[in-house]
Amino acid sequence: MPASKKRIQRGGGPAVAGQQVPAALRDWVHIWHGVRVRQEPPSGSEAAPVSRLLHQQQRNSDEDLRRSRSAEPRTATSIFHSGSRLEALSFWQSFVRLPANSLFPHVHSSSNPRRRYKDFLYVLLNMRWPALGTVLLAVFLVNIVVFAVVVYGVCHDPDTLLKSFNLSYQTFSTIGFGIVYPSTTCSNIVMVVESFASMLVTSAITGLVFAKFAKPRAKVAFSNVCVIQPYGKRYLALVMRVANATQSKDVTHDVIMEANFKVHLLRIEQKQSDKQWAHAKTTTSNVLCSYNLKLLQHNFITFRMGLAVVHIINEESPLFGMSEADLAASDMIIEIAMSGVDSTLQDTVSERYTYTAEDIRWGFRFAEMLEFDEFNSDVIMDFAQLSAIETTPIDYTPRFLRVSPINIPKSYDFMRLYNSALYVRWPRIILVFVICFIVINVVFALIYWANMKEITPYPDIVVSDFELAFFMSVHTIATIGYGSISPDPTAVYMNIWVLIESSLGIIAVTIITGIAWAKFARPRAHIHFSTNIAVTSIYGHRCLMFRAGNTRHSGDVHENFFRIGVILTNRKTGLRQIYDVPLVRAEWPSIKLPATLIHVIDESSPFYKFQSLDQLSESRVAVIALLTGLDTTFSENVYARKMYFWDDFAFGVQFDDFAVLRRDCIEVDFERFDALIPEDTDHTWSPRSA
């Protein structure tokens, strides 16, 4: 299988078909075998009824109160309830438990062949940045204190514990001011060991920070409720809403490509056992059953704002035939899982969320969370409305150039800084680093300047007090340590601040190295798409055409695979959805010679009903083009995307020629790349060198 299509076939292609089973076993295959269900009454506050059919924000609604009374309460012995969800844990519980995005967050294993300490790396990588920073600082301090105690207690060199501590941190941070140094064989041996330990610990911390930076994480927010709404005139639909929770306003940044959704249902059911199943007498018992819910659309070319995940409750659905009261009394949990490719890191990301019967709203639909600002050409995406529900249909989504997210539930400020750095050009990044370097040194210089008597310079240094403090700050954060300017080894105040600044210097170098490494190693496609989509006639057939080409001067992208999708409104649900549109030729070995992509507009095409720009504008049509390829330099998958709006369509025109193939070379003129001519005009362009 070509490397560039591994993720596409996993996300967009058909799932691997399971083995066909006899009709008598179709219910049996959904049982999670080997699991015994024990419904025990909870203790303490958990014994209170866990059924709350309606969300708090609708509790004052008379209609909601009527629905609440009509539904049967669930028992207090339910396996799946709001407290069983990882999202319902308190901050400290989630901090200790280290959320793992799992359907089963509370698993207690016994006789596990894998030792717990072997998962320590996963524990560190899953920690939040403040917690991880605290752990790393503790490692740093413990090493310094241990070697300080050893060199003082065993070698008695230096002669005081404070000087031993100063010697230890200067050795560990590789400053070496020279004012404190080992003078005996014993202390020199200890410092040799500490310097080696410093190299190991610093390398390990740097690698850990790199791994955490590179660890892909989806910035996705899920609605805290799901709804049951009509689907057409015959069926109902289970709908969940998901939104891209990035803080970026640029519509081309932080896009999740090839977003693939799966919905799983776990439910406690009563099944009748017989000798064929359980090798025992016929009994009725509770069993755990698992279902994969089929979605109306499970794969989306791109995911940048919000979308609805829809499961039609038809005869094939395990929810078919259930009433509102049946759902309310069900002991079940629904998990929605999203996986896709982050456009910033060019890597796979995933996120999950779970719903119980308490989170289902019967007879509602989601309210609009987008507000169009015509003056600024912005779409305001209000995350406070992510879970808002109402009975009115959802409006069309207007064209937008920028997204202004507000009330974002997840704010990854530190990681946003890192992700933004991947988009910023090198001159600006270097300027930011220089400014930060100067500001940090000025701040610490002011701290040192406030207590100049604890700074020990060489007598031949003739500078002002502030210059002396500033140069000492530079020597400290850069771990230079000439020795000409150093803190008094007996001064506690000064040495504490020097320790803090030296630690900050190591952290800063680690972060800068991580950003530089990520920018160098990040594969990019550098694909240029045509400005317009041309709608023309070819041999009497209407066709949609656009172009894409590789603009690199060196290196190539192989195994190019194109997909396009059109954003339209589903008449049955009133929701905006992305529909895949087939191309005449989707695969290209190379697009160093730019390719023209063609879609034939036949009766099955979603473009068949559109004959003019006015019709496209009325339906707010938008087209997304996505390229997946294999970068020959990095041997990594690369992605490129382009969004076209209704006013980017051009009717009755065709693309002009832009390249000439010669014996020894190909001449490509990118000035002609977007050139459009009337569809009944012959191609008359000739290359400049002709």
Distance CA 595, CA 342 (A): 25
**Kind and range of the H or E element at 104?**
none
- What DSSP letter does each residue of 14-44 carry, written as one string? PPPPPPP--GGGTTGGGB-TT---------G
pLDDT given at position 377: 64
* pLDDT tens-digit series, residues 155-198: 988 889 998 998 898 888 888 777 888 888 898 899 889 988 88
**Is the whole model's pTM more than 0.85, yes or no?**
no
Regarding beta strands 587-590 and 576-581, do their DSSP bridges make them parallel or antiparallel, or are they unpaired?
unpaired
For 414-417, which contacts have Cβ atoms below 8 Å and span 24 or more sequence positions? 414/129, 415/217, 416/246, 416/247, 416/248
* Residue 184 zone, left/alpha/beta (φ > 0; ψ -120 to 50; rest): beta
Q: Do 546 and 625 meet the contact criterion of CB atoms below 8 Å apart?
A: yes
Copy the structure tokens of residue 399.
């064209």
Distance CA 533, CA 604 (A): 19
pLDDT given at position 39: 64
* pLDDT tens-digit series, residues 42-80: 554 443 333 333 333 333 343 443 344 334 445 556 777
Question: Which segments of 577-682 does DSSP mark as H helices, in order?
Answer: 613-618
pLDDT given at position 118: 78
Cα–Cα distances (Å) from 453 to 165, 496, 586, in that order, read 20, 15, 74
Question: Which segments of 619-657 does DSSP mark as H helices, in order?
Answer: none
Cα–Cα distances (Å) from 671 to 237, 548, 649, 658, in that order, read 50, 14, 20, 8
Closest to 348 measured CA to CA, from 257, 220, 248: 257
Beta bridge partners of 534: 545, 650
pLDDT given at position 539: 85
**Kind and range of the H or E element at 274?**
none
What residue ranges define each of the domains in the chain, with the CATH number in brackets? 3-13+50-87+218-411 (2.60.40.1400), 421-521 (1.10.287.70), 527-678 (2.60.40.1400)
Burial 213-245 (b: 16+ CB within 10 A, else e): beeebbbbbbbbbbbbbebeeeebbbbbbbbbb
* Cis, peptide link before residue 158, omega less than 30° from 0: yes
Residue segments in the chain with a per-residue pLDDT below the cut of 70: 1-21, 23-25, 39-77, 81-107, 273-283, 372-377, 391-416, 419, 521, 570-576, 634, 682-690
Distance CA 64, CA 55 (A): 9
Distance CA 355, CA 84 (A): 10
Which residue in this structure is represented by tokens 């060019």? 346
Cα–Cα distances (Å) from 88 to 43, 158, 278, 332, 600, in that order, read 17, 54, 36, 16, 50
